Structure formats: structure tokens, C-alpha cells
Chains A and B, each alone.
Chain A
Amino acid sequence: MTGAEILIESLLAEGVDTVFGYPGGQIISVYDKLYNYEDRLKHVLVRHEQGAVHAAQGYARATSRPGVVIVTSGPGATNVITGVADAMVDSTPIIVIAGQVGNAALGTDAFQETDLVGMTCPIDKWTFQIRKPEDVAPAVAKAFHIASTGRPGPVVLDFTRDAQNGVAEFKYNKCDYIRTYSPCPEPDEELIDQAVEMINRAEKPFVVFGQGVLLSHAEQQLLEFLRKGGIPAASTMLGLSALPSDFPYYVGMAGMHGSIAANMMTQECDLLIAVGMRFDDRVVGKASEYARNAKVIHIDIDATEIGKIIPADIGILGDAGTVLEKITEKMQFSFHDEWAVKAREYDKVENTEICLPETAPVEGPIHMGEVVAKVAAVSNNEAIVVTDVGQNQLMSARYSRFSKTRSFISSGGLGTMGFGLPAAIGAKMGQPDREVCAFLGDGGLQMTIQELGTIMQEHVAVKIVVLNNNWLGNVRQWQELFYKERYSQTRMLNPDYSLIAQAYGIKYRLVEDRAELDEAVKEMIEAKEPYILNVHVEEAGMVYPMIPGGKCVDEILIRKDEWFDNGR
């Protein structure tokens, strides 16, 4: 077999059913062989390689299986860089296979040669250049092992022409061991015991959990831990949907635009238990003041995260599910009802001051939160919500409701505009039986709008809600609040989306009037095909609450000039 065939056989051996890609000169041998496998391996032809990576990320986040990308060398390879960086910081397992020039041409500035290894190894989990056909199967096996174990992440295989065209015997051995790589450390029992004691003694324990819970499939363990300990819990943005939104101990999202309860309780708790999260600055605000009254237990699978931002009194290295299970078994039943109900008091203020006016305004233009809440209600809180970046993302995170896990897909750490549309395509291809609804800003949509072509060609039944404010709204919000309303380059005009939808043959509806919204959302959710719902929303909309960058997490703006006052 040629190296190109070995690649495809290896992907099949790993159970891959879908790949996202774009052909070109230095990967043409692989595409030639793919032609023979059309019945066994679905190739989704995107419109730009960035779309392929984000689609693979969406696929991986929705299914927990690695997403696979195939691109050509040079510009094909550089076009995936944003997605690789995004997948790294958001711990998403993807495997990028990029063509590369022949071995003899390496380093000669040959046509479409670029130093992909040099470019990606600082921003991915593993990079490997395959130069020989006999290295293909072992490299793919290692790639899957590395991408999907421990803290998952992107892997890049730089696949030279010689390795594609050369011939070797095909024999596939899955990789489950690399001697220099220990992805899943066994938690230290002594530290578990210390943590149990600390939790038993705490009067106001509080949990902040992140995507680690989803990645470790530890949703059930988290639930049982919280129940037994009677512990209120907040989620990071990427942790959303790990707990059902109506779980009694759940207090909402933590961080810059999180709930008042989540942020205030972080400052009031006497023990903060961080599970599978990395204390991103959007969560922490001013790090030196974060959780200032609390001892900290940090559970994570990545040793470099423990103590990186917030010093841990106890740092437990291990899989979130395993650690939580061990702690739950040993700790005592507790109730902290007086403490836990504090969340409901904060919620009362947040609901009247912020949530109700946002989700159920009676007059004026449509609000973003209103649209998000409506979609959640109509889809029975069961949809996979994919977002772009900006106010659309924050509003989706705040006002979506979740009843199923793995239902929130968004670019967190990198904040990549243009992520939403292709990620939604990948999510829907990975979970065709689930409703997938993408909330996109008008700016972000236009960054990867070409992927409407992929939707057209593949009939991907994603539901696209454009939260159209004619602004780069999130930047506009900062300009209004912190740059004296000097709206430098944030006013953005939009094309006529009805014509764009028509050009791509995608169902379309425009809503400008509140009276139409309900019916339009129902029509969209009931549709069996792709659908674009363009909603003209309030232009000067703002996302509150907001903790301005660098402030303590109890310094919360609830309106332009009004700070949350705990006294009332």
C-alpha cells in the first residue's frame, strides 16, 4: 500500500467516519486514494481550511471523538493555524494532516513549502513530520492517543510527498502507551484524604468547574459530589451544560459576564474547589483578590495548571471523574442550606435588574437575550448551542438553558471570531440527531460566511440565528464604557442576507418585530433543513452584569454607571 492508503486505512482503524478538508497539490495523492473510500469515509469539502479546523473542533466537542482535518501544504497548512491554537487552549482533540513537499525539497523554499512543524509545535500538543511510508500508521496511532488522552489537544501531522507515495506494508496497532507521556496520573490518596477533611470542615464550600468535567465524562460524579456535600457550584463558560441548568445547587456561570451569585459566592466562600478549570483571567479578574477568603483545592489533569494563576492549598492531579468519585466516597453528608440559598437571593436581584429586562422586554427593539431564551424554550433546552464570539456568545452563554451535556460549543480561550458557523457544521455532522443551533454575530458570520457553501453542498441542517446589531457589538460595548464612546471602526454594515441565503439555497427569514419572533423561532426549530434566522436586534445593546477587566469579581457593573451593591 502507498502511504496515502495507509493513512486512510489507519483513520478507519481508529473508527473515523468523517473528515473535513480541502485538496491541493501536495495532498493530491491522499485525495486520489480517498476516491476509493467514498462509501466508508465521508469527506466534507469546506470552503476555506479555517472552516475545516473549526468544523473538526465542533465535531470533537459534540461527540468527544477527535475531529480530523486534511489539507494541503503551504497556504492550506497556514490557514489551519488559528484553529490549531484555538483547539490547544480549549483542549479539543483534533488531528490535522497536512501535505508537505517531497523530502528532497524540504528546506529549499519549494513551491508551497512552509515550516509547519516550526509554526505549530509551540501551539499544539504534538507535531510530527512523516517522511517515510512505514511511519504513517505508527504516527497516526500516536496522534490519536496523544490528541484524545490526558488533557486533549490538537496534533499536527506534516505528511511529505515521499511518505504519501512510497509503499509499505500496512499493519495497524493502536497506541496506548508512550513511555515519555503519562496522560492520566493516578490521584494521590493522601491528598484526597486531606481534601476530604478540608471539605468536611468547610462552612461555605463552593465549586467552580470547567470543561475538564465534560472532557473526563465526569458529569455524574460532579452531580453526586455536589449532592452529598450540599455544595453550590458555578461553571466556567466552557463547562456549561455539564450540569443541567435547573440543578438545585447550580448557581450559573462564573466570570466577567457570569451571574452575580457565582461571582459573589466566589468571594464569600471559605473553600473553593476548582474542578477541571484553569482560572482564566476572564473567570478570575484580579487574581490577587480572587476567592480571598477561601482555601483552594484544585483538581486538574494538567500539572502545569495547578498553581499557575491561583495558588492551591491542595492540588490534586488526576482525572476529574476519578478524583471526585474518591472524594465523594470518603466525605460526609453535609448541608449548607443557609449558604447555598444565598444564590437565590442574588438571583432575585439579577433577575429583576438584568435578566427579565433582557429576556422579556415589553417595548423597543428586540434584545439578544430575548432571542436566545426563546430558542431555548422552543427547543426544550435540548439543542446544542454553538456560538461565535462577542455579545452573541455572552448572551448565548447567559440565557441558554441546558438539559443535556455537551450542549455548548464556543471558542473560549482564543475567542476566535468566525468559529461559530463551521463549528456548528461539525457539531451537526457529529450529532445528526440533535438540534444544533448557532448564534452568530454579524461580524463573526462574515468572517467565515463562505461555509454556507458547505452547508448547501452537504445539506447540513444547522439552524443559524444571526444576532444582527450592525456593530462589532462587544468592542462597541468596551468603547462605550471605557473609551468615551469613541466608536472607532466598530460600525459595520451588513449585506442583504436574504440574497445571500437565496444564493446558497438556504431557507431564510428576517425578524425585525417582536410580534413575529415567537412564530419565526418555531418555524426555524421545526424546519428539517438548514435555516437562517436573521434577527435585527438592539444596536446599542450591552451585556451585563460585567466585571471590568482586572477588577475583583465582586466589583460588578449591573448598568452603565451602577455597581452591584450587596447591601440592598
Chain B
Amino acid sequence: MTMEDKLYIISVYSENQVGLLTSISSIFTRRNINIESLTVFPSEFPKIHHFTFRIFTTPESAAQVVRLIEKKVEVVKAFWFECNEVNASEHDIVNQFLINRN
């Protein structure tokens, strides 16, 4: 952790898949990012899981981590934002994605 690091939330919508949590968390561990907290719960969309990770990092690294997570085949969408922000558009973006690609 450096001085510029801040707390970010990485929010991931994904289809359920054995091993996905391992591969997502290895994206953090490879970059020496500690996961401060982690939650997994069913999302508002059927059969889609919602993972959230709280991590200390830089905006550049948060953005890159999100791109790497989105590269995983089962991941629908991933987002990053500062811990005290609320991301209101998330739901709409995922919803639109699922409507477009069904």
C-alpha cells in the first residue's frame, strides 16, 4: 500500500462458475493487493451472482483489475468506484447488457 492508495469497491456480476472466485482473487493476489472484504450474494438478476471486493489501490490499478476481471469468460460486467461513492448506474448497465445479449 502506498500513500496514494484509496479504498475502492470492485463490483462484479457473473454467472456462477466453479473456480471463478479463485481466478478473480488471483487477479488481486498477483498484483499484491489485499482484499479488505469480500461478499458474494445472488444479484437482482436470475442466475447472476454479485461479488464485491473492497481493496486499497490506485485508480489505474482498479481500472486494470476491472478489465482483467471482465476478461473472464463468465463475467457479465465489472465496475470500480471509490468506497464512499454510490454507483447508481450499475443496475441499468447490467440490465441492458442482459437484454442485449440473451
* Chain A residues at the B interface, C-beta cutoff of 8 Å: 117-118, 121-122, 125-129, 146, 178-182, 302-304, 308
Contacts and interface: CB of A to CB of B under 8 A. Distances in A.
Contacts of B26: 121-122
Contacts of A126: 73
B29 to A, nearest CB: 9
B13 to A, nearest CB: 9
A121 B9 CA distance: 23
Contacts of A179: 76, 98, 101-102
Contact of B22 (A118, A125, A146, A182): A118
A181 B73 contact: yes
15 contacts: A117-B19, A118-B19, A121-B20, A122-B22, A122-B23, A122-B27, A128-B17, A129-B18, A146-B73, A179-B98, A180-B15, A181-B73, A182-B101, A304-B67, A308-B64
B55 interface: no
Contacts of B19: 117-118, 121, 127, 129
Nearest to A122: B26
Interface residues of chain A: helix, strand, loop or mixed (majority): mixed
Contacts of A146: 73
Q: Which 7 pairs of residues, A with B, have the shortest CB-CB distance?
A: A122-B26, A121-B23, A179-B101, A121-B19, A117-B19, A304-B67, A181-B73
Contacts of A303: 67, 70-71
A117 B18 contact: yes
Contacts of A180: 14-15, 73-76, 101
A247 B74 CA distance: 42
Interface in B42-70: 64, 67-68, 70
A178 B76 CA distance: 10
Nearest to B98: A179
A307 to B, nearest CB: 8
A304 B71 contact: yes
A217 to B, nearest CB: 22
Interface string B25-45: 011001000000000000000
A122 B30 contact: yes
Given A118-B22, A146-B73, A180-B75, 7 more contacts: A118-B19, A121-B19, A122-B22, A125-B73, A128-B17, A180-B74, A304-B68
A477 B37 CA distance: 47
B61 to A, nearest CB: 11
Contacts of B101: 179-180, 182
A302 B71 contact: yes
Contacts of B74: 180
A185 to B, nearest CB: 12
Contacts of B68: 304
Contacts of A308: 64
B22 to A, nearest CB: 5
**Which of B15, B64, B75, B101 has its CB near the most chain A CB atoms (within 10 A)?**
B101
Contacts of A302: 71
Nearest to A142: B73
Nearest to A303: B67
Q: Which of A117, A125, A127, A180 has the most CB of B within 10 A?
A: A180
B56 to A, nearest CB: 21
B64 A304 contact: yes
A522 to B, nearest CB: 48
Nearest to A177: B101
**Interface-centre pick from A117, A125, A146, A308 (highest chain B CB count, 10 A):** A117
B67 to A, nearest CB: 5
A181 B101 CA distance: 10
B32 to A, nearest CB: 15
Interface string B66-93: 0110110111100000000000000000
Most chain A beta carbons < 10 A, residue from B15, B30, B70, B73: B73
A302 B75 CA distance: 15
B73 A178 contact: yes
Contacts of A129: 18-19
Nearest to A155: B73
A226 to B, nearest CB: 30
B95 to A, nearest CB: 13
Nearest to A156: B19
Nearest to B75: A180
A90 B71 CA distance: 16
A279 B58 CA distance: 22
A285 B21 CA distance: 34
A129 B20 CA distance: 12
Contacts of B102: 179
A180 B23 CA distance: 16
Nearest to B77: A180
Contacts of B70: 303
A128 B19 CA distance: 8
Contacts of A128: 17
A6 B83 CA distance: 49
B63 to A, nearest CB: 9
A129 B16 CA distance: 13
A326 B73 CA distance: 28
A125 B75 CA distance: 13
Question: Most chain-B Cβ atoms within 10 A of its Cβ — which of A121, A127, A128?
Answer: A121
